[in-house]
Amino acid sequence: MSLMDALDASMPGVSPGVFDEADFRAISEITHKEVGIVLSAGKAMLVYSRLAPLVRNANCATFGAYVIRIREDATERTKAICALTTNHTFFYRESHHFEHFAREVRPGYVQRLQSGGKVRLWSAGCSSGEETWSLLMTFLGEDSSAGARIAKTDLRLLASDIATHAIAKARAGTYRTEDLKPMPEPLRRNWTRSTGEDLLGDWPMQGQFDTIFCRNVMIYFDNPTKERLVHRFAEKLAPGGWLYIGHSERVTGPALDLLSTQGPTIYRKRAA
């Protein structure tokens, strides 16, 4: 089946004069070039439904006209890419990661902080912040007094995502009560800091991180992009630092020289 046939089958009633194969290919190429996300032919309906409101708001009669607009207008291009980003997440998702972090990793970090050292954590591709807050609450622990003391140490948690609307929600830190139900009850408290950075662009961070969470983000990238990104993560980890990735993701390529497998989708940087 050709891409045009796939478009016709998935979107009956959509005029080719409004949205056609050339438009889909152009949007796919722009999205891949900007943020590394791969849009297969099966995503045609998603592209149409997510971008149609933006096409109308931009006063463009066709997707072809909108393609021209986003090629020339960086602000509109960012809006389009954000609209195509899936922001599905929830608190304490893949709980075994947080349980491992609390049991195996956290005690050493707390000891380091208490001795005057620093700890740097990164929630890469944080979406709307549920992962970020879950990680921070896990770190601060179940003892509120001890958590308050930890929060005053040299601990920093960076949260980043390409979708600016998701970052806005993460920064606000406001969620429905039912959204918090997966969290262990004693952990529902405290703070975070967020910034919106493109994972594939230049990173402004100068230092290294002790732990990086980047889960269910790379499923949207092709394999060369995944390998480059994971290798950059590995280089950004301090020796002995931890990397947590999504349950369906794997570390391949040059990063394997720097990371060792410690559990299901859990990796640790080898000592220098």
Give the pLDDT confidence of 171-184 residue by residue, as tens digits. Answer: 777 776 777 777 77
Q: Which of 161, 210, 215, 268 is catalytic?
A: 161
Q: Is the pLDDT of residue 222 over 90?
A: no
Cα–Cα distance between 65 and 32 in angstroms, integer?
20
The answer for residues whose C-beta is within 8 angstroms of residue 241's C-beta and 6 or more apart is 208, 209, 210, 211, 212, 268, 269
Answer whether 3-84 and 95-269 agree in fold: no
**Domain 95-269: which CATH number of 3.10.20.30, 3.40.50.300, 3.40.50.12780, 3.40.50.150:** 3.40.50.150
Q: Which of 8, 25, 50, 112 is catalytic?
A: 50
SS3 268: strand
Q: What is the pLDDT of residue 10?
A: 53
Q: Is the pLDDT of residue 190 over 70?
A: no
Q: Which amino acid is at 11?
A: M
The answer for residues whose C-beta is within 8 angstroms of residue 3's C-beta and 6 or more apart is 21, 24, 25, 41, 44
Interval 97-156: pLDDT, tens: 999 999 999 999 999 999 999 999 999 888 778 888 889 989 998 888 898 899 899 999
Identify the H or E element spanning 151.
helix 144-151
Q: Please state the pTM of the whole predicted model.
A: 0.53
Q: Under a CB-based contact definition with an 8 Å cutoff, are residues 54 and 84 in contact? A: no
Q: Under a CB-based contact definition with an 8 Å cutoff, are residues 203 and 236 in contact? A: yes
Domain segments of the chain: what residues? Answer: 3-84, 95-269
**Domain 3-84: which CATH number of 3.40.50.300, 3.30.200.20, 1.10.155.10, 3.40.190.10:** 1.10.155.10
The answer for residues whose C-beta is within 8 angstroms of residue 8's C-beta and 6 or more apart is none
Helix axes 164-172, 74-84, angle to 10 degrees: 70
Interval 29-77: pLDDT, tens: 988 888 788 888 888 888 888 889 899 989 998 999 999 998 999 888 8
Active site residue 176: no
Identify the H or E element spanning 130.
helix 130-140
| Band (189; pLDDT cuts 50, 70, 90) | low
| Band (17; pLDDT cuts 50, 70, 90) | confident
Active site residue 161: yes
